[in-house]
Amino acid sequence: MARTLLCRALELLANVLAVPSSPDRRTAIRIIRVLLSHPLWHVTESVSAALSEIVTSADENRPLLMELLKDPWWRVRYGALDASFNIGNDDRFASFRQALVHLTKAKESHSRVLGLCGDDFLGWIRDGANDDDTRRRILADPEIRKRRKAGSRRRTIHGYSNTYIYSSAICIRQIYRSASCCHPRSNGHLISEARRLFGRAVTRNLSRGSSRFP
């Protein structure tokens, strides 16, 4: 029953936001903020998915993502970031890149948001890029490189991000393995690259643990 009501509510919100001149537009955006703040993850995910469709339904809704990314509540920023990644196939990940750049400049510090940055970034270079040349261009992007430098200066991040450190090391290895002009990198070097990209969340437990990746 609750899921049905949520789907109906999201449908009504989408209809309102599909009309840029609607007098109920600001109210609809406030409702989206409230729903993204819901403590149950399936609600956040449902709203994020609906937000992706809302943004792609009208060009006037594109700025809505950046507006939500500036929200003081981390769950709202999380949902907006997820939505920006979800529309990657529609805008070639331009919105997601913009979200990463904004969160870097805003000095995002919440571990859940940073973890999603890492997870979605890996999805971008793993599945969103058509070939290795495209992946190398993403990694060479000056703004993305700033994200790496910002990560290297961050001293501590909640352990929640550790999963993405391991995942990034695996993904980076796969990229270098498939690139004919690059030599395979050592596990230690891969961990260093992962740390620079997503921050120094790895503690002494990481170096003491297994450094072998599939």
Among candidate residues 64, 67, 151, the one with its CA nearest the CA of residue 104: 151
* Rounded mean pLDDT, 179-190: 47
Count how many Cα atoms sit within 13 Å of the Cα of residue 54 in the half-sphere of its side chain.
26
In eight-state DSSP terms, residue 87 is T
pTM: 0.72
For residue 95, is pLDDT > 90?
yes
> Mean pLDDT for the chain?
75
What is the mean predicted confidence (pLDDT) over 111-138? 84
Name the more confident of 71 and 183.
71
DSSP 68: H
> What distances in angstroms separate CA 172 from CA 81, 111, 141, 142, 191, one per listed residue?
22, 22, 16, 18, 9
Mean pLDDT computed over 52-79: 92
